[in-house]
Chain A
Amino acid sequence: MSLNNIKKEFPIFNEKVHNNDLVYLDSANSSQKPLSVINRIYDFYSKEFSNVGRSVHYLAVAATNMYENTRSSVQKYINAKDPKEIVFTKGATEAINLVANTFGQKYLKEGDEILITELEHHSNYVPWHYLRKNKGIKIEFAEVNEDGEVTLESIEKKINSKTKLIAVTHLSNVTGAILPVKEITALAHSKNIPVLIDGCQGAPHLKIDMQDLDCDFYAISCHKMYGPTGLGVLYAKKKWLEELPPYQGGGGMIREVKKSGITYGDLPNKYEAGTMATAQVIAFDESIKFLNKLGIENIMKHEKELLNYGQEVLRKNNSVRLVGNPKNKGGVLSFTLDGIHAHDIATILDEDGVAIRAGHHCCQILHDKLGIPATARASLGVYNTKDDLDKLNESLNKCKKIFNGK
């Protein structure tokens, strides 16, 4: 499979938006789905459906095997040591909540500190805030610099003897900054502090290798990886999953239930209570296959070229101000347009079929720091082309024409 003409793998691009071809520049929000993933969901429900891990009939055994097969595929894709280190969740948000809840319960007490950064998405802040409220822990923020980056030094500055966990994004969904997560992990480990990486933007766009990163937890959002919604992955080193208490209670996660007490199941069932997003898990295997066929190196090269082109085009447009200028940057172009609010930009672009996002992108802390209430954001995926970025630029010029009459 090649990246040329990859759009044809995605049925959505046959659709018209306000009579225009779709120019989809909102992949940091959620990615479109290739036909193989869509078909897998259809086939599973039409020919193979059963719940997993419970019944012993033919369909149940087959579904259970397929479900576990995705776990192994994810393990290989991220180079985890053991499939038991892969926990399916309803999203990256739940993955982070799982860690905050269980780690907080077991290891945190009043006055302890969690170190995050000013770049974090709300999903890597709010779960820790609950611990601040309920347990009296403190949340420290490593500062973002004017290029929109968080450096190893700014992390180091905030580490002290009370720091109990460091939780950082792999790739900022606003400035595109790629954080030195390997170095951050090494530094943290030298002080015996575990590290959680919010990999929502990292996993779809970067090569991720758990043995190389050596982080303790890595949260993944499957719908941003050309996979189904309602599904996330928590990678956690086995020792943590063994040590930490269960998260939600219910069917599937227990070993023995008596009136006098309950024992919990083995990994990974301990963390997968209730009927899971079975069809999504099984279809997610197709997303991994899709990424493997393209090759993450090729994807990274393609998106880097597009990013460079997009930056060049937008910089030439005098009214556009790019937000952040990180040295190591992923495929996110956040910007403001002189005199025109981001929401007006998004509405006008939409008329041309150009889909971007406007707002604070669930990063209010960062926007407050930047002193901008809202930015417009074009974000890239495998299916984007230089032509898409030219169309973005043309539509931005149309905004200027509507607002400034020239």
Chain B
Amino acid sequence: MNLKELYQEIILDHGKNPRNLRKTDNFTKDAKGHNPLCGDKVHIFLKLGDDKKIEDVSFEGSGCAISMASASIMTDLVKQKNENDAKELIKDFLEMIKEKPDISNKSLSENDKTKLMSLSGVKQYPMRVKCATLAWHTLTSAMKDSKEETNTEKFD
């Protein structure tokens, strides 16, 4: 049963056919992330409009199905949001992955929430949580346009 919760259809689909796996033309900010235990790597590109709206977000990288699916779903969900809403979503996602049973975020549609909750199966696999959080921590760095590589070992 557990495995089915971890490798849900949505995850397998996003893992195999990641959305936004490319490099945004004329990106305005970017950051790289690395999970040294697994070797998962991600590079996130952001294009912000004048109103701090995320006009485009994309990523390059390689990793397991969980890390690729997480980056894919994340980029899908934050696109067209403004930066503050995206920050809020990152916070809510990380809380859900760590402790909270559910995600409470007002900017999410039911459909988006289902997508995001598909990643919650990872909670039962403590060694794999960092696979799911890599892209999200890296997105935070990208919003700061950090030149330092994000390293999942630095986070709980």
Contacts and interface: CB of A to CB of B under 8 A. Distances in A.
Chain B associates with chain A: yes
Interface string B117-128: 000000001001
A348 B3 contact: yes
Contacts of A347: 3, 6, 125, 128
Interface string B23-62: 0000000000000011111000000000000000000001
A255 B38 CA distance: 47
Contacts of B62: 373
A158 interface: no
Contact of A343 (B2, B12, B38): B38
User: At the interface, is chain A mostly helix, strand, loop or mixed?
Assistant: helix
Interface string A333-345: 0000001111110
A403 B66 contact: no
A304 interface: no
Contacts of A360: 39
A359 interface: yes
B65 interface: yes
A366 to B, nearest CB: 12
Given A341-B64, A341-B65, A359 B38 contact: yes
A56 interface: no
B12 A351 contact: no
Contacts of B39: 359-360, 364, 367, 373-374
A262 interface: no
Contacts of B63: 341, 343, 373
Given A341-B64, A347-B128, A351-B2, 15 more contacts: A339-B16, A342-B64, A344-B65, A347-B6, A348-B3, A348-B7, A351-B3, A359-B37, A360-B39, A373-B39, A373-B62, A374-B39, A374-B64, A402-B12, A403-B65
In the A-B complex, the 6 residue pairs with the smallest Cβ-Cβ separation, listed nearest first, are A341-B64, A373-B39, A343-B64, A374-B39, A344-B65, A344-B64
8 contacts: A340-B65, A343-B128, A344-B64, A347-B3, A359-B37, A373-B62, A402-B3, A402-B12
Interface of B: 2-3, 6-7, 12, 16, 37-41, 62-66, 125, 128, 131
